[in-house]
Structures are given as structure tokens and as C-alpha cells.
A and B are shown apart, each in its own frame.
Chain A
Amino acid sequence: MVEPLISVRNVKKYFDVGKGKTLKAVDGISFDIYPGETFGLVGESGCGKSTAGRTIIRLYEPTDGETIFNGRNIYELSRHEMQEVRRDFQMIFQDPYASLNPRMSVLDIIAEPLDIHKAYKNHRERYNRVIELLKLVGLNEEHAQRFPHEFSGGQRQRIGIARALALNPKFIVCDEPISALDVSIQAQVVNLLKKLQKEFGLTYLFIAHDLSMVRYISDRVGVMYLGHMMELATSEELYNNPIHPYTQALLSAIPIPDPEIQRNRHRIMLEGDVPSPIDPKPNCRFVDRCRHATERCRRETPEFREIKENHFVACHRADEILRGSLK
């Protein structure tokens, strides 16, 4: 049995939004990430996936829970110890236009992690390392002297990836890295990420709302809704045999780029919009939009449990759905 690289245990992140109200962005999620895998985290706006990603690498301080890396809970580490751990944890951000400091040259941007951790002996070494990283992401030496605004979104994202790789990390959180990019550039970046993963044995937490892309790149996928994890399974299993009603609706809503198939699909339409994560009641978060909701769903938050091998669901009626007695 392979040991997980990272274990997330009941992590919560609440925000105080004034007037005594609490925004429960992440409300108790638990899962493991294994070395070398890509773990996909999906959900629609407000589900808490971005917050989850940032809390896991301690960019936000958690309200509760543990994240275990190398046998230790990283939330208990001192600032100095955390500094060391940060060399192994990196992050790639969504907005290629905001994640690079417009006043810094590409050289300085990519070298920043090296500067912070004093990871080189002299300027030559620093420069060479940056050029090496630029080449890894498909850019070249002449780009080092330029500034972010001269690059396209896809190129900037590649610069962000180069920066994340500078310290040879083990684990990279990709927070919607491709949402702001054009379709063909998305493919470029995703292919690059896959290639780098193979080459360096990286582990990814891939956060996105584009389910087709997540399915493609991830080994296992977790579906979040309003701060809770609704379902978790391998990519294949999740997309072929979704159990949770939300997952089913989500999958049927994704348009397939094939007019014939799209025309003939049976779609599960969800009514209404995603509700707010402020001061939620102790119910199943999906109760207002679920077509199988019962009284119990309104009163009691379902347990996130393993219903099939390696397939977890949080739904009171999961067994019925699995048996096929619910349509």
C-alpha cells in the first residue's frame, strides 16, 4: 500500500464576513493525494475548491483540521520549518495577468524563489538556472529580459510554471491554471504539465471547473459543492458511474463538442443557482436543488464514505442510486 504524499483531514476554512456571519468556504474535507498522481478538484463557483487549495499549502491559515506531509501536520510547523516545506510545495495561479509582478523582468520573476531561499552561489548560476527553466517550458533566453505585459496569457502561464519549478518541488497546486486561456493554449499548458510530471515525478492538485479537462488530466477526481466533498473516485469511475446526484447533473450539463451527440443527449437540468456558503444549515448542501431530496437530507449532513472500492460519496441515498432503484 503506497503511502499518501499528502493527507488532508477534516480541513475547514471559515471567513468572518461581519455582522456575526461566517462564510464557510471549506467545511470539513478529507482526502489523500498519492505521490506522482494528479488529483483533480472540481466544482462550480463558491464550492470552495480554490480556498481548499490555498489552505492545503497554508497560504491561508485553516480554521480546523490537519494537512499531513512527511508525517507532520504542516499547520503546526514553525515559520522556519514551514519555510523549508515551502520548497516542496508550489502553486500555479489562475490569472496569468495578475500572478506576475508587472515591474519585474521575467528573469527576476523566475529567480524569485531562488532569491528567497538563497539557492545559488553567484549571479551566473542564478542566470543559468533561469534559462534552464525557461527552456523547460518552451521559451528561450531572449525572453528573460522582457516584461510580463509583452507576453500572451499562455506564455505568462508558462513563466508561472517555470517559477514554480525553480526549487524542484514535489507537489504543485494548480489553481485553475488554464481557465483564463484560449482553448488551444489550454492544451499546450496541459500537455506541458503532463510532460513535466513525467520528467520530474511531480504530484499535482489540479483545481478547475472545466470538467472535461479535469477528467483528461487527473487520475482521481473529487467533486466539491458548497464547501463539502460530494464524491471522490478515479477519473474513469467518476465519469462513467457517477453516483451523487450533483455529479450526475454536472456531467450532463457539460456540452460535448459533437453536434450529433449533443442533440441526442438526455440532460438533467438543475433548477436555480448555487446558493451562498454563508451560515449554512446542517443539511446536505445540495438539498435545495437535488431531485432525490428527502426530509433526512434537510436535517442531516450525509457522511462521506466509501461506497465502492476507492469510490467515496456523501449522500443519504447513495445505496439506492447504486442499486439502480433511483433514476
Chain B
Amino acid sequence: MGKLLEVKDLAVSFQTYFGEVEAVRGVSFHVDKGETVALVGESGCGKSVTANSIMQLLPMPPAFYKNGQIIFEGEDIVKKSDKEMQKIRGNKISMIFQDPMTSLNPTMKIGKQIIEGILKHQKLSRHEAKKKAIEMLELVSVPQPEKRINQYPHEFSGGMRQRVMIALAMVSNPELLIADEPTTALDVTVQAQILDLMKQIQDKLGTAIILITHDLGVVADISDRVIVMYAGKIMEEGTTDEIFKNPKHPYTRKLLGSVPRLDMDRNESLHSIEGTPPDLYRPPKGCPFFDRCDKAMVICKDHMPNKEYHSDSHYSYCWLNHPMAKAADEGSEI
């Protein structure tokens, strides 16, 4: 098995004053022990909502689980109460966010916050907890941890704060770490440091990571598998190599083509995708990418494509996979 987390057919919606907004519309995937899975997509695609659902962090109402299961260690998280979830959060599954400033309490010393985190799930004396806190700061390469443990969040720089966040998250050696855009707000040189750190921690502690991001460079750097989401659904999934070298879905291809690369010719044009993602207030019946896809066919409008496997680990949802689709665009650029 080896499956740490299994999401089955998850559907999450929000009840708003003008109707239901379907943020996640039937998403299924799994995460194995010790691997890094990237959830990629643009804003509104549902990746953050999916991640927050795993931790049951969405305000309910207005959010609600419309359908599906999230199986972690044999139990369905969707069915758990908040009290039960508290035993899991920060303990077995941890999360780090984009903006460390708002996730850390500005009036509490860093050391205190870490110690509180430790004591919540582990039976240690204060003294032992303090020692562990210093160890955690060392783990994330915060220099002079014994001194910095008595400082406040605002005395740390952005990169340092993110390290503290990671320390806080790793305090109970969780099986799964969910990282929601952890480096988006950081400078590029600092981002490189944090990504490196995450890789080191994974090597050392065997933590599985779900990485949510829209930055394809970051994905190429640290993820093993990639899931591409659009408008609340999964469009394509595969290993990192498969997705980058052999993308099957038109959206994935366009996405890859719209990112300027340091090693590309400046005279090549960037692929952009016309228009904007569909409003999930009245989500389209068929393939959500229909409005913006230049390979769209009649069938795409009203019918959601079937899942088609390209290898054991690589699949996509697209009518172009169907034998009857005439377009043969293997290898040729869009």
C-alpha cells in the first residue's frame, strides 16, 4: 500500500448569498510516504481549498463537504469532529502558509510558540521541551538558536520566519506536511534556501509533502509527482519528468509554454491563454478549459472527458485522447 493519504472524489462548495460556488468538483489523488506531490494551478483552481480541506481548516459554513472522502491512516477525515482534528493538526499533519507573519503570534516569543506546539502533542517537561525547541531551530538552520529563541517574530526576516514556521510544523515529526505557497512571498535567493531546507528535512525525517504552488520552477525543483488542477478539477497527473517532458493536456502545455525560462530564446513568444478561468458559481458542464482551449471540439463543451492513462503514473482528462479525435499534435508545439 504505502499510501499515506488518499483523497477520493472530494467535492467542496461554498454557500454564498447568490448561490453555491463549487470550489472543488470531484478530486481524487493519493500521497505516498516520503514523497513530494505538487498541486499546481492558477488562482481559483481549487488547490488551496483542497489542501485546507485535508486539515479541515475551512470555515464551515459557508464551506461544506459536498461529497467524497479523505482517508488518512485508515480513517476518513471528512467525518471527523473538530476535536478529533485537533489531535491530528500539528501532530500528524502540519501545514505551513505563504505569509509567515500572519501565522505567527507577534506578541509571543518564538521559543514560547514552539514550546507550546511541542507540549500540545508530546508529554515532556518544560525543560525538555525547550531543548527540543532549540533542536528544531537548529534543524531549520536558524543561527544562534539559544539566543533567538527569546526573540519576537518581528525581529526575524521573512526567510527566517518561514524557517521558524517550518520548525513549528515539524515539531511532532508529522507524516505529512502541507506547504501552501511557502516561497511565493520570498525573494528568489531566500526561496532557494527554503526549498533546499525542505528537501533536507524530507531526506532526514521522511516526511511526505504536498506542495501547493503556481511556480513551475519550484515544482521542477523539489517535487516527485505533479497534479495539475483547473476550475476545481484535476486535468492531468504524472511524475515530474512525465509532466514536464510529455504534457498531454492542452492546459498543461500552455501553462508550461507561458513561463519564460532563463534558457529559452528571447525571440520565442510566450504562450498566453486568452481569457480567464470560468466562474465556479455556474461551473461549465463539460471540460472547464473549453472556453480557452484552441484545440476544443464540439464534444468538449457539454461532456467532461474520461480519464485516460498514458503510463502507470501518468493520466489526463481530455477528449483529444479519444481515438476519434483527429488532432495529432504529439511533439508539435501549440
What is A's interface to B at a CB cutoff of 8 Å?
A: 44-45, 138, 152-155, 182-188, 190-191, 209, 211-213, 215-216, 235-236, 239, 249-262, 267, 269-270, 273-274
Please name 13 further chain A to chain B contacts, defined as beta carbons within 8 Å, in addition to the given A44-B190, A184-B273, A274-B189, sorted by A numbering.
Answer: A152-B277, A182-B43, A183-B258, A184-B272, A185-B276, A187-B260, A190-B270, A212-B217, A215-B266, A253-B188, A255-B215, A257-B220, A270-B189
B255 interface residue (CB < 8 Å to A): yes
Report whether B256 and A257 are in contact in the complex, using a CB–CB cutoff of 8 Å.
yes
Q: Which of B215, B220, B254, B264 contacts A184 (CB 8 A)?
A: B254
Instruction: Classify chain B's interface size.
Output: 35 or more
Residues of A within 8 A of B195 (CB): 255
Contact of A183 among B42, B188, B277 (CB under 8 A): B42
Map CB proximity to A onto B237-270 as digits: 1 under 8 Å, 0 otherwise.
0001100100000000011101111111010011
Which B residue's beta carbon lies closest to that of A190? B270
Is B42's CB under 8 angstroms from A182's CB? Answer: yes
Quick check: B193 and A269 within 8 Å, CB to CB?
A: yes
Q: Nearest CB to that of B195 among chain A residues?
A: A255
Subset of 16 A-B contacts with CB under 8 Å? A45-B158, A152-B276, A152-B277, A154-B276, A183-B42, A184-B271, A185-B276, A187-B272, A190-B270, A216-B266, A253-B188, A253-B191, A256-B220, A259-B241, A270-B192, A273-B159
Pair B187/A274 contact, Cβ less than 8 Å: yes
Residue of B nearest to A218 (CB): B266
How distant is the Cα of A153 from the Cα of B276 in the complex, in angstroms? 9
Residues from chain A with a CB closer than 8 A to the CB of B272 are 184-185, 187-188, 190-191
B183's nearest neighbour on chain A, judged by CB, is: A255
Interface residues of B in 273-304 (CB under 8 A from A): 273-274, 276-277
Select from chain A the residue with minimum beta-carbon distance to B223. Answer: A259
Q: Which residues of B contact A239 (CB under 8 A)?
A: 262
**Structural contact, B261 and A257, CB atoms closer than 8 A:** yes
B157 within 8 A of A: yes
- CB-based contact A212/B221 at 8 Å: no
Question: Chain A CB within 10 Å — which of B188, B215, B271, B272 has the most?
Answer: B188
The CA-CA distance from A138 to B215 in the complex, in Å, is: 26
Cβ of B71 within 8 Å of any chain A Cβ, yes or no, is no
Contact present for B258 and A273 (CB under 8 Å): no
Whether, in the assembled complex, B76 has its beta carbon less than 8 Å from a beta carbon of chain A, the answer is no
Cβ of B35 to closest chain A Cβ, rounded Å: 14
B155 to chain A, nearest CB (A): 12
Closest to B159 in A: A273
| Interface residue from A213, A252, A270, A274 paired with B260 (Cβ < 8 Å) | A213
- Given the complex, which residues of A lie within 8 Å of B201, measured CB to CB? none
A236-B266, A255-B192 known; A186 vs B220 contact (CB < 8 Å): no
B214 at the A/B interface (Cβ < 8 Å)? yes
Contact in complex: A155, B217 (CB < 8 Å):
no
A152-B276, A190-B270 known; A183 vs B187 contact (CB < 8 Å): no
Q: Which 9 A-B pairs have the closest CB atoms?
A: A255-B217, A187-B272, A182-B42, A187-B258, A44-B187, A216-B260, A257-B216, A273-B157, A188-B272
Contact in complex: B261, A258 (CB < 8 Å): yes
Q: B154 to chain A: closest CB distance in Å?
A: 13
Residues of B with C-beta under 8 A to A182:
42-43, 214
